[in-house]
Amino acid sequence: MGKVLMKGNEAIGEAAIRAGCLNYFAYPITPQSEVAEYLSRRMPEAGGVFLQGESEVAVSYMIFGAAACGERVFTTSSSPGVSLMSEGISYISAAECPAVFINIMRGGPGLGGILPSQADYFQSVKGGGHGDYHLLVMAPAGVQEAVEMVMSAFPLAEKYRNPVMILGDGLIGQMMEPVEFPDHLKSEPSDKNAWATNGIASRKGGQRNLVKSLYLDPEELNAHNMKLRDKYERMAEDEVRYEAYNADGDFEVLIVSYGTMSRVCRTAVDELKSQGFEAALIRPQTLFPFPGVPIKEAAARPGCRGVISVEMSMGQIVEDVERAVAGIKPVHWYGKCGGEVPTPEEIVEVVRNLK
């Protein structure tokens, strides 16, 4: 299949089907409702399950029930909806079930607005629900990358038996770009009989499976949390993904930015270069695990005077950048969070004027 022109939200829905996920539960919310609208037609055609739940809270538990049977399942929502799903996400993480959640972020807090934002970084990366857990969080910078991340999310969720979050800003959902659905990203579900509640009859030996998150014994709960921690460390070892741009030669300033915002920063890097000013860009593709090591190495380069995080939020990812840079160079922040995307001109100006 060649390239087709698709809206991000529709491409995300199609990517899940192409990845072999035929179960989708969701609740409408702007700016991602087109995923549900698209799949309400497409899922029955593909022989899959589409169900509109009564709330995001309920949807997160429909996902839990289906995921605990070992079936591939996913949902999409936007910021306020993801807050409601965060309860279920905590339980699913605790019970170690694979599932995929997609957040097409809008402005917050509260109802905020319906325009693009990146203000759910903390919620996604630091845990929006209660308890010590992490999601594997990927952030696409375009529709094609969103498709590829959705398709790779299912085997990753199964590999770690952990929810995967695709964190896209509203622009990723709303813009149209040419996309193709790569065959090499199709995958078969992994073996689930050791843990899934898919009926005793489905496994030899007749053992029964239990999916739960309650550990009343303090030693048992601590051991469970240590096991989860080991898993997050394995992710940090094996799953960090990032893209570096104009970072091979000497540069004065290192920009860190993800998602749609990083594309604007890339344009700014080109513009700066034409003015004779060298800036490098590191774009985290995974937000958890965070590419702290390459950011630190780039910041440590002799010519680099400082680092700036450019984000559509009021200073969230900048905290992880500071942690990575660990004081070796000054770290700055620039951002907007009302729905406007900072322009290349603004970024050029800010970068040139960094102290």
Partner 1 sequence: MGVAFKKPEALSDRHTHYCPGCTHGVIHRLIAEVIDELEIRERTVGIAPVGCAVMAYNYFNTDFQEAAHGRAPAMATGIKRVRPDLMVFTYQGDGDLASIGMGEIIHAANRGEKYTAIFVNNAVYGMTGGQMAPTTMPDQRTTTSPFGRNTTDVGMPMRMVELLGQLTTPAYVTRQSVLKPKHIIKAKKAIKKAFTYQLENRCFTFVEVVSTCPTNWGMTPVDAIKWAEQTMLPYYQLGDVKVPEDN
Can you give the binding site for partner 1, defined by CB under 8 A? 23, 25, 49, 51, 53-55, 57-69, 71, 73, 87-88, 91, 95, 197-201, 206, 208-214
Structure-block tokens of residue 223: 């051991």
Tell the smallest beta-carbon distance from residue 208 to partner 1 (Å): 5
Tell the smallest beta-carbon distance from residue 159 to partner 1 (Å): 21
Strands 163-169, 99-105: pairing is parallel
Distance CA 324, CA 219 (A): 33
Which one, of 92, 102, 89, 106, lies nearest residue 139 by Cα? 102
Tell the smallest beta-carbon distance from residue 95 to partner 1 (Å): 8
* Nearest residue (CB) to partner 1, 59 versus 102: 59
* Nearest residue (CB) to partner 1, 76 versus 209: 209
Tell the smallest beta-carbon distance from residue 85 to partner 1 (Å): 11
Q: Angle at which helices 143-160 and 8-18 pack, to 10 degrees?
A: 40
* Nearest residue (CB) to partner 1, 195 versus 245: 195
* Nearest residue (CB) to partner 1, 204 versus 355: 204
* Nearest residue (CB) to partner 1, 46 versus 57: 57
* Nearest residue (CB) to partner 1, 6 versus 85: 85
Residue 109's beta-bridge partner residues? Answer: none
> Are 153 and 166 spatial neighbours (Cβ–Cβ below 8 Å)?
yes
Tell the smallest beta-carbon distance from residue 70 to partner 1 (Å): 9
282: three-class secondary structure by DSSP: strand
Give every CB contact of residue 292 below 8 A, 6+ residues apart in sequence.
320, 323, 324
Structure-block tokens of residue 328: 């070796």
Estimate to the nearest angstrom the gap between the alpha carbon of 149 and the chain centroid. 9
Tell the smallest beta-carbon distance from residue 63 to partner 1 (Å): 6
Distance CA 281, CA 225 (A): 36
Q: Which residue has the tokens 């700036």?
A: 308
